[in-house]
Structure 1
Amino acid sequence: MTTLSRASLILDALAESRGRLTLSELATRTGLPRSSVHRTIQDLESELYVVRTSDRPGYTLGPGVLKFGLAGHLQLLSANRSKLVSLARETNENAELAIFNGREAVIVDQVASPERLIGVTKVGRSFSLHASCIGKALLASLPPVRAEELLPDALERFTDTTVVDRGDLLAELDVIRRVGIAVDIEEHDVGICAVATAMVGPTGALQAIAVVMPTRRFAAKGAAALWGLKDLNPSIDATAAKAHLDEKRRAGLG
């Protein structure tokens, strides 16, 4: 394994942990020998890619990674902004852009419709992967084994319609892989429904784009959201996706 590969494993582990990790914890999470972790950490620390925590033993991501994160973030936003604007205008609902943030999905951009949703979804908000359409769409874009690795052992329930049975969720991810869309029927927030699709975007990063709306408008406008997403992701199987959307709506809302 190259030095770059070891560094990537360590940085990914720190990003996913969202907190400090000791050398032993990093060795466990990455599968690397502790001696290799120690040598690589020293190199990363010298460039401020990682820093030691002051209150107790361990390391966190350092300021050296910011220059890459900020540049990549701006490229991601500029490459997708016009698509979000068009989608929001076409559907007259909120259009959102999301990416992985460790073991969660995070909203990185949003274009609000004239019928703005207040206080429901904000840029920077994170969502559990299993309880949001953006999370499920991103998971379904990964190899099944990797998707399972990102899921916690116990799936948290947010609402009455959150899918908390692991087998049911994995079966739904298989459907999402086939049809190209994920549906959220009040699974994360009561009163909110959404449809999302995931794809490799213009910057080469895996991303999800969603149309989000109040539940009261979903029955009438869910199909319009689907067609708007298909304009952005032609690989969506429209017929199968519509059937999946209708099935989820009936199961969740009756």
Structure 2
Amino acid sequence: MADIGRTTLILDAIAESRGSLSLSELAARTGLPRSTVHRIAQSLERELFLVRVPQRHGYALGPGLLKFGMNAHLRLLSSNRTQLAQLARTMNENVELAVFSGREVVVVDQLASPERLRGVSKVGKSFSLHASCIGMALLAHLPDRQVLGLVQQPLRRFTENTVCDTTTLLERLDRIRHSHIAVDNQEHDLGISAMATGFVGPTGALQAVSIVMPTARFADKRSAALEELQVINPAVDRSSVSF
């Protein structure tokens, strides 16, 4: 594996931990030799991509990464905001934009409807890939081998509707690859349903757009939601979607 791949493993491990990690912890999580982790961590520290946390003798993400993250974030938002605003107005429901964040999916933008859902999600909130339609919409763009490397076993059950069987999960992803639509029927939160599509956006980033609403309104609005998501992503095949 080239150094860029090893570096990515180290940065992802620290990002997913949401805290600092020691060299030994990084070696265990990435599967890399401790000496390799030490060498790369020192290089990242010199560029301020990592900083030391003295209390734990570990490393955390540093300020050197901010310029990359902020630039990418602003480009992503500006390229999608007009369409998302139109979608939120048309559907009168919350609309969210999400991207991969390591082994999770994170909401990077949200446009709230007048009947705003409170306490369900917010910008910066992350979700498990297998238990959200935004996560499934993104996973469908990856081969099964890579999917199995991203979804952590055992799969966490959030509600009685959460799919936790790997075989069933892969079968669902195969259907999503044909329809380009993923549906969440109270799989992450009871009383909340959503529909999402994943695609490569104007910035070249793989992203997912979802329409989120109370389950009580979903049956009446799902056909309209499907039509609107096809406007966002012309690859959507409405005839392949089953509810």
TM-score w.r.t. structure 1 length? Answer: 0.89
Gaps of 5+ in 2: none
The equivalent of 2:168 in structure 1 is 168
Cα gap change, 1:156 to 1:235, in 2 (>3 Å): same
Secondary structure of 1:99's partner?
A: strand
Q: Alpha-carbon deviation of 1:28?
A: 4.4
Q: Alpha-carbon deviation of 1:5?
A: 4.0
1:69-148 mapped onto 2 (5 Å cutoff): 69-148=69-148
* 1:202 partnered with 2:178: no
Q: Is the 8 A contact 2:22 2:56 kept in 1?
A: no
In structure 2, distance between residues paired with 1:53 and 1:130: 33
In structure 2, distance between residues paired with 1:4 and 1:215: 44
The equivalent of 1:226 in structure 2 is 226
1:236-251 mapped onto 2 (5 Å cutoff): 236-241=236-241, 244=242, 246=243
Q: Alpha-carbon deviation of 1:2?
A: 4.7
What is the letter of the counterpart of residue 145 of structure 1?
R
What is the letter of the counterpart of residue 222 of structure 1?
R
In structure 2, distance between residues paired with 1:210 and 1:158: 19
Q: Is the 8 A contact 1:27 1:34 kept in 2?
A: yes
* 1:188 partnered with 2:188: yes
In structure 1, distance between residues paired with 2:36 and 2:151: 28
In structure 2, distance between residues paired with 1:159 and 1:29: 28
Q: Alpha-carbon deviation of 1:231?
A: 0.6
Q: Is the 8 A contact 1:131 1:158 kept in 2?
A: yes
CA shift digits 1:150-208 (9 cap, x unpaired)? 11111111112111222211211111112111000011111110000111111111111
TM-score w.r.t. structure 2 length? Answer: 0.92
Alignment RMSD (CA, Å): 1.7
Secondary structure of 2:90's partner?
A: helix
In structure 2, distance between residues paired with 1:143 and 1:75: 27
Q: Alpha-carbon deviation of 1:137?
A: 0.9
Percentage of pairs with the same residue: 61
The equivalent of 1:216 in structure 2 is 216
Gaps of 5+ in 1: 247-254
Q: Alpha-carbon deviation of 1:31?
A: 4.5
Q: Is the 8 A contact 1:93 1:212 kept in 2?
A: yes
The equivalent of 2:14 in structure 1 is 14
In structure 2, distance between residues paired with 1:152 and 1:85: 34
Q: Is the 8 A contact 1:17 1:102 kept in 2?
A: no
Q: Alpha-carbon deviation of 1:120?
A: 2.1
Corresponding pairs, count: 243
In structure 1, distance between residues paired with 2:93 and 2:86: 11
Q: Which moved more, 1:10-19 or 1:65-74?
A: 10-19
In structure 2, distance between residues paired with 1:116 and 1:89: 12
Cα gap change, 1:130 to 1:6, in 2 (>3 Å): closer
In structure 2, distance between residues paired with 1:122 and 1:171: 30
What is the letter of the counterpart of residue 205 of structure 2?
A
The equivalent of 2:54 in structure 1 is 54
In structure 2, distance between residues paired with 1:17 and 1:142: 23
The equivalent of 2:65 in structure 1 is 65
In structure 2, distance between residues paired with 1:121 and 1:24: 34
What is the letter of the counterpart of residue 198 of structure 1?
G
Secondary structure of 1:6's partner?
A: helix
